[in-house]
Structure 1
Amino acid sequence: MLFDHYPRYEGFRDTPRKRSAVLRKQRIEREALPLFAEQIAAMQPSVEEVMAKRSLQADAFEVERRKFKAKWWRIARENYYRLPAEQRMKVLTRWRRWWGPRDSSCLLYLCAQAKAEQL
């Protein structure tokens, strides 16, 4: 079955631009309440801590995203293989001619369309 490949995750990139954005955000937070600037500065994490946290969050998000996509592919394939053989052939023919994205939601759409045509 044809499908669009999901691009390989390259990992979180720690760039000077992201670091300067963290520093800018922290400066704006301190300037927003000048009387409490020292207390706010004491509570703010270092740039290294922020980048480490973002890296962990990005990795965790990617794992969850891949699990989500895999779950929906399993559901789409299950729906496809539950169809009678003649409907599966219609779906397969339409899938091969499909010009949109080849993802699980599109396959589910074609399966639902085949079921609706039978009724």
Structure 2
Amino acid sequence: MCFKPWPRPTPYEDTPRKRAAYRRKQEREQAALPLFAPAIAERQLGVAEEMLRRTGQWERQQLEGRRQRAQAWHRVRARLFEHPTSRRRAIRALWRICPYPADPSYFGALLHEIATGRIDPAWPPWGASHTLTPRTTPNPASFAEAFRQIGQRTVGGGPKTVGADEFLFYGNLGSGNLFLTSRVRLIEPNESFYTTWNHRLRDSHVGSSEHWVDIAVRGPCSDEDLRRIARLARAADTRPIVVRRIDPLAGLSGREAAR
């Protein structure tokens, strides 16, 4: 059983600094009530008597601390032996490699997490045997199922114009992490204003025929994934949609999917 050894008992250190500090304490107590200074002095212990009292208190505190820690280990070990033999061995092996301090309170917390299902001894959240598996949606039925919004900002705008909302989506179709930047653009490039309404991928809006949705894809995206993203986006929005792949190094757009 992995545990942190408790410090061995040590004798109380009687030093001149402690004696001088106690004498100053006596003087402060007497100076606080000058009229009762003689009575206070009579009830105060001498320096030698105080050091003897502290020695006995120090020994009792060490014994009590060791007793309480031993009782804590007895309680958590009793909880451990409530499990079957095979599971008990797995928990002990997990306790040897877990990053928790070798303390009975932390071992009790580990047993509680195992009992509540937060930690599986066969697949602990630490160690070399545990591997992270990203959440993927290889065959999504909708755009909302494949991608979730993780950011939003306003771009453009000026004294006489209103900025357009730009949304950031995240998803993983199986090849890697994909980040989609969606922005509504004007079909007529000579217009001098930005669209102001929410342009999330959903049903059509009033006057949406004058705008198109530009979706830039960053991340490992094959041609098939690019076509799948375009198909899901068109199913979620009736406006014209262009999906293009962005080179993360050069910052240039690559192949585009059909509108």
Structure 2: tracts of 5 or more residues without a match: 121-259
Q: Deviations over 1:9-48 (max 9, x none)?
A: 2121111111111100000011111122222212211011
Q: Match of 2:81, SS? A: helix
Corresponding position: 1:59 with 2:59: yes
Match of 2:185 in 1: none
Q: Match of 1:3, SS? A: coil
Output the amino acid matched with 1:66.
R
User: Which piece of structure 1 moves more, 79-88 or 40-49?
Assistant: 79-88
Residues 26, 44 of structure 1: 8 Å contact kept:
yes
Residues 6, 66 of structure 2: 8 Å contact kept:
no
Residues 14, 51 of structure 1: 8 Å contact kept:
yes
TM-score between the two structures when normalised by the length of structure 2: 0.43
Match of 1:34 in 2: 34
Match of 1:6 in 2: 6
Residues 11, 59 of structure 1: 8 Å contact kept:
yes
Q: CA deviation at 1:84?
A: 2.0
Query: Structure 1: how far apart are the matches of 2:28 and 2:106?
Result: 45
Query: Structure 2: how far apart are the matches of 1:112 and 1:41?
Result: 54
TM-score between the two structures when normalised by the length of structure 1: 0.90
Output the amino acid matched with 1:97.
I
Residues 12, 58 of structure 2: 8 Å contact kept:
yes
Moved over 4 A (4+): none
Match of 2:75 in 1: 75
Say how many residue pairs are matched: 118
Query: Structure 1: how far apart are the matches of 2:28 and 2:67?
Result: 37
Percent identical pairs in the alignment equals 36
Q: CA deviation at 1:100?
A: 2.5
Structure 1: tracts of 5 or more residues without a match: none
Higher relative contact order (CA 8 A, sep 6+): 1
Q: Which structure has the larger Rg?
A: 2
Output the amino acid matched with 1:114.
I
Q: Match of 1:8, SS? A: coil
Considering fraction of residues, name the structure with more helix: 1
Q: Deviations over 1:73-116 (max 9, x none)?
A: 11111111111234323322321112231011111112222222
Output the amino acid matched with 1:102.
A
Match of 1:85 in 2: 85
Q: Match of 2:116, SS? A: helix
Considering fraction of residues, name the structure with more strand: 2
Output the amino acid matched with 2:49.
E
Output the amino acid matched with 1:24.
R
Match of 1:48 in 2: 48
User: Which piece of structure 1 moves more, 50-59 or 83-92?
Assistant: 83-92
